[in-house]
Amino acid sequence: MNNQKTSSGSMNHLEKITGRILDEAKEKAAETLKAAEEEIALLKKKAEEEKAAYAAEKEEKTKIALEAAAERNASAAETEKRGVILREKEKLMDEAYARALSFLTSQSDEDRFAFSLRLLKEALREIGEAREKRVLYGSQDEFDESGDSASLILNKKDRDAFGEKLAASCKDEAAKAGLSLSLDPGVRDICGGFLLESGEREINCELSRLIESSRRKTEKDVYAVLFEN
């Protein structure tokens, strides 16, 4: 009888101990789980904050990159714009001098003769002055090595229109320069003006060459007239 009571009392005591252990374990597990959940919440919050910070940084970098790209595009557009304007100005300059050349070559026979006469007399005077200076210093000019004769060469249009008259009109100026001037029987494919030849020596007074030479001297002034207010 007493043994049964003792056994029953031991079992009750053991169950109480087991119950307390289980209760403590559950409590500890709940605390551990709560701590874990809190840590997870903190980690999740930190992750969200890092994600937001990364997104903000990425957005800022993207914004900066887009602004830089826009600036580069604007700069490239401005450079292209300046290039287009410059090319258009150069084109207008080319057209201006082309019109000057066209004007000279499309004049009447009488006007082309007058212009060629003035140009040829100036060329002969310059040759004469240069020869006089060289004679003083005992040197030779470009015509001395080939003799004292010079041939006047024109294009076909001008030769037919006034070639003989032009050569005859400049006989005196040629003589003053120490040259005997004659009209060459041939023609040259030039737009206008003339060539003076003596042996292998040549003075080129072709109109296109003269216009190009004039352009180098007058381009700034022409630019100012065309584009500066």
Do the domain assignments include residue 198? yes
Do the domain assignments include residue 197? yes
Per-residue model confidence as pLDDT tens digits over 141-189: 555 444 588 999 999 999 999 999 999 999 999 999 889 999 999 999 9
Between 37 and 131, name the one with better pLDDT. Answer: 131
Per-residue model confidence as pLDDT tens digits over 168-177: 999 999 999 8
* Coil/strand/helix, residue 201: strand
Tell me how many domains the chain contains: 1
The yes-or-no verdict on residue 137 having pLDDT over 60 is no
Do the domain assignments include residue 88? no
Between 5 and 200, name the one with better pLDDT. Answer: 200
Average pLDDT, the chain: 79
Rg over alpha carbons for the chain, rounded to the nearest Å, is: 52
Contacts of 212 (CB under 8 A, 6+ apart): 97
Do the domain assignments include residue 143? yes
Give just the sign of the alpha carbon dihedral 85, 86, 90, 93: positive
Do the domain assignments include residue 20? no
Per-residue model confidence as pLDDT tens digits over 62-112: 778 777 777 787 777 778 777 778 788 888 888 888 998 999 999 999 999
194: CATH: 3.30.2320
Contacts of 194 (CB under 8 A, 6+ apart): 116, 119, 120, 152, 153, 154, 158, 166, 205, 206
Range of 187's domain?
Answer: 107-227
Do the domain assignments include residue 213? yes
* Stretch among 21-35, 94-108, 115-129 having the lowest mean pLDDT: 21-35
